[in-house]
Structure 1
Amino acid sequence: MDAQLLRAVQTGDVQSVDELVRTVPGDVLAGDEGSRLLRAAAFAGHADVVSTLLDAGVDPTRAWGEGIDPVSWAADHGASAVLEELLSSDLSPWRKQVPQSMERAALEIARAWLYLDPELELRRRLGALQDESAVVECEQIPVTDWGLHTTRIRLTLADGRQAEVQTAHRAVVTYLEDRLDLPVSRDELLARALFHADPQSCDWSASQAVLWEGPDSDSEETFRWAAGLVGHPSVDTRRFAAQVLHNLSFYKRPFKAQALEVLRPRLRAEEDPVALNSVIGAFAEYTSRGDLTDILPHARHSDPEIRRRVAGELVVAIGEPPQVPYYPDPPLIPFDTPPNVVATLIELTSDVDGRTRANALLTLAGSGIDSPAVRNLMTAHLTDDYRDARLEAAAGLALREDPHGLEVLRQIDTDAGHGTQAGWRVDSVRRILAHRATERRKS
């Protein structure tokens, strides 16, 4: 096995893996060598490397040396992100397909963990039930780039033997049941999410995904179920129900009027910032250019996450900003923006929290709100100590064809580099301006 490639796999260096794996013959990758690389990536928890190896032709069904196949290993280990990559061949048809029989076997393996104490099971496997010298480590580890995490439990004996497991078996079970079209009640999905009661956990996320990505025929019933729980005495239940309502608001809105009726009183009554964040997001989505007066008081909420949410959601009151080339609408959409919305946005551009300022400036940047006062405000923020606030101020001025804004935007682009969020934003503004110039020439 190439030592450099193995090292890149173990350290999670996706770019090097992608480059080096191209030099390995296909028949080698499909055999034992590929399996060893896949095993190394899975054991290290690098789901993105697993993805790269599968794309290169590594076989996800080939058993490892100890006789266990990768899918069963991931299910047993609670490695939900790795498991999802192993089974994503239906989305990537050039990968080798995993048979349903293997998925069903993995489901039974993961289900067994729902009734076990993880530490006791690790002790049993190592034959150390009564070993008081065993060291137990519990560590929260990331599993995705967008913030999801799980807990890893590792047991180490005095003789150096180790066993470990991730506590995401409920996510694994939920994911596999969904793939196999096995019915599960909403209450059971809620119970799985609340087992660890962590909105950023894999278990919580998996239950949410099944509920809001389900068939349209179920969406109204899911809405009624969540609406009935959004005022529940348990704060964790309220958080989960509010997030379901928020997720449903993006695509499934036949119950818009009922949703606003449910959410409006929650805007006043909800005291938990996490639940309130979802309530505000759902209310704004269901309102859809309606009256957002009810969310304006939260622009002064003590939690910066709430103020950030308000700053971002007020885009609903002024019209969506253009997203050239994806949605080539003209920039600066004319819209009759209520004065209280404008005043709130301007207030939020001076917030003590940098992300809140940036969100407010982003909302203003693509809006039809233009006046000397707004331009002066954006000019003042070109020296903001928060980089994204400077970026959005420059973008807003550039979209209003202010030469100073364009100059600052170019400088930010130079400093940020290609492939960054700032670089993407600069590119977006450039495309909008190019589209505008094209339309002018046509007319």
Structure 2
Amino acid sequence: MDLSPLLAAVARGDDRTVFDLLDDVPEDELGGDDGVALLAAAAYAERDEVVWRLVEAGVDVTRPWAGGVDPVTWAAGRGAFPVLQALLIRSGDPRGADSPHRRALRVAQAAIASEAVGEEQGPPPAHRAIVSHLEAVLGVHRSPDELMARALVHARPDHDDWCESLLQLGYRADQEVFGWARDVAGDRSSLDRRRFGLGVLNFIGFGLDSPYDPDVHREDEGPLPFRQDAAAFLRPLLDTEKDPHALGSVIAAFTSYCSPEEALAVLVHADHADPGVRRCVASPLAHHSLLVTADHPDVLAALVRLAEDPVPDIRETALCGLAMSHVDTAELRAVMAAHLADPHFDARLEAAAGLALRGDERGHRVLDEVRRGIKNHRSPGAGRLGDIHHLTRAREENRCSITGGR
């Protein structure tokens, strides 16, 4: 195996090239020294998806790296949470007496005990995320107050410590956690607490199945018992919450609990100055198919404006909502046609899909061009292209049935 191009791609963060090169490497070649060296390079560079791919391919995570470094201990000590998760995916029973999970947990706990919070250079290590995750894997479930305390040490909503605490509480979508989160979300004395409480309300609305109780499925338990109470609590906050991050959580949570018609209340924030808020508006509008109709011109108008947003993924979401709708006007086709040259690939793809779904050859030509560039399932647009193909066929068959095949 020629390591040089692989190591160079890892160093520059070019995961796609790494994956393409690995497709040509027999898996038995990854089981030796070269595989271990590549795994170490990917972990040190914190390319967690590459680490995941290598571990899945059979690279041995029990073999020490150069200098005798133990992979699991290194990742836990560094607080490299996504890398550690990738290293552990094939590690067997986590509850064994000397499992790597237990070893990683001890290392992360020791790192927390010795750290000096506030003195980090760069993003803080995610030791608390590691502890929260591994405790749950091992059957230890901490109280909402303790999980919130871990999130608030750095109080960064984009940090793994914060997100993992939200996730662990999201798995416990019961009345008790809802009541706790509502109380915290109503705490006007602390912005960080309010943000976290609203985040929990958002996460428990997802209806997540816990990976720690594989025999329990959320859909077996019926609708969330607090759905109406949650919507009633969140609705006034659409008008009063001023913090952009908190408002984004309010919008995301409210639209997961309320009816499609009630979701129209978020339209007032479609032109908000903060892109995070606009993103939270675009997503439910785009995915509530009952709203994206000629009967709701205000929703269509909002999505058309969001399709011109300077933030690429907001444009993509809005264009997807317009594409999936059954509205077909010359004005809407013009919006989509204008985005066939969008610099953002996914926005371009959604615009082409919208035209193709309406039988417009301009969209089909762009989709054909994308299709010719597909090398494997990781190529840009590969997954979405399959969805679009099935949707276009279904709509064409429907049109033919209506017109009698003409």
TM-score by length of 2: 0.78
The counterpart of 2:276, out of the listed 305, 313, 328, is 305
CA contact (8 A) 2:182 2:201 kept: yes
Residues 349-364 of structure 1 mapped to structure 2, 5 A cutoff: 349-351=307-309, 355-364=313-322
What is the CA–CA distance in structure 2 between the aligned matches of 1:423 and 1:18, rounded to whole Å?
A: 16
Q: Which moved more, 1:399-408 or 1:174-183?
A: 399-408
Q: What residue is the counterpart of 2:299 in the other structure?
A: 341
Work out whether 1:138 is the aligned partner of 2:118: no
- Give 1 or 2 for the bigger CA radius of gyration: 1
* Structure 2: runs of 5 or more not aligned: 208-222
The DSSP-based 3-state class of the residue aligned with 2:255 is: helix
Q: Which letter does structure 2 place at the counterpart of 1:292? A: A
Give the 3 Å change call, closer, same or farther, for CA 118–61 of structure 1 in structure 2: farther
What is the CA–CA distance in structure 2 between the aligned matches of 1:225 and 1:249, rounded to whole Å?
A: 14
Number of residue pairs aligned between Structure 1 and Structure 2: 378
Work out whether 1:283 is the aligned partner of 2:254: yes
Q: Which moved more, 1:272-281 or 1:12-21?
A: 12-21
What is the CA–CA distance in structure 2 between the aligned matches of 1:412 and 1:25, rounded to whole Å?
A: 32
Q: Which letter does structure 1 place at the counterpart of 2:353? A: A
Residues 227-246 of structure 1 mapped to structure 2, 5 A cutoff: 227-232=182-187, 233-246=189-202
What is the CA–CA distance in structure 1 between the aligned matches of 2:290 and 2:230, rounded to whole Å?
A: 21
What is the CA–CA distance in structure 2 between the aligned matches of 1:101 and 1:107, rounded to whole Å?
A: 11
Q: What residue is the counterpart of 2:388 in the other structure?
A: 429
CA contact (8 A) 2:76 2:107 kept: yes
Q: Residue 192 of structure 1: CA displacement?
A: 1.0
The counterpart of 1:101, out of the listed 93, 98, 106, is 98
Give the 3 Å change call, closer, same or farther, for CA 96–41 of structure 1 in structure 2: farther
Q: Residue 264 of structure 1: CA displacement?
A: 0.5
Work out whether 1:315 is the aligned partner of 2:271: no
Q: What's the CA shift string for 1:389-437, capped at 9, x where partnerless? A: 4443332222111223323443465679864554544443222112344
The counterpart of 1:24, out of the listed 22, 26, 29, is 29
Give the 3 Å change call, closer, same or farther, for CA 53–424 of structure 1 in structure 2: closer
What is the CA–CA distance in structure 1 between the aligned matches of 2:93 and 2:315, rounded to whole Å?
A: 47
RMSD: 3.7
Q: What's the CA shift string for 1:256-285, capped at 9, x where partnerless? A: 101111110111111111111121111112
The counterpart of 1:225, out of the listed 180, 203, 210, is 180
* Structure 1: runs of 5 or more not aligned: 90-94, 121-135, 141-150, 152-166, 321-332
What is the CA–CA distance in structure 1 between the aligned matches of 2:280 and 2:309, rounded to whole Å?
A: 13
Q: What residue is the counterpart of 2:215 in the other structure?
A: none
Q: Which moved more, 1:40-49 or 1:309-318?
A: 40-49
TM-score by length of 1: 0.72
Give the 3 Å change call, closer, same or farther, for CA 101–9 of structure 1 in structure 2: farther
Q: What residue is the counterpart of 2:336 in the other structure?
A: 378
What is the CA–CA distance in structure 1 between the aligned matches of 2:295 and 2:150, rounded to whole Å?
A: 43
Q: Which letter does structure 2 place at the counterpart of 1:220? A: Q
What is the CA–CA distance in structure 1 between the aligned matches of 2:66 and 2:339, rounded to whole Å?
A: 60
Work out whether 1:197 is the aligned partner of 2:155: yes
Give the 3 Å change call, closer, same or farther, for CA 260–392 of structure 1 in structure 2: same
Residues 43-442 of structure 1 mapped to structure 2, 5 A cutoff: 43-62=44-63, 69-89=70-90, 99-102=96-99, 103-117=101-115, 138-140=121-123, 151=124, 167-214=125-172, 218-232=173-187, 233-251=189-207, 253-319=224-290, 337-351=295-309, 355-382=313-340, 388-411=346-369, 419-437=378-396
Q: Residue 298 of structure 1: CA displacement?
A: 0.5
What is the CA–CA distance in structure 1 between the aligned matches of 2:368 and 2:300, rounded to whole Å?
A: 28
What is the CA–CA distance in structure 2 between the aligned matches of 1:388 and 1:69, rounded to whole Å?
A: 40
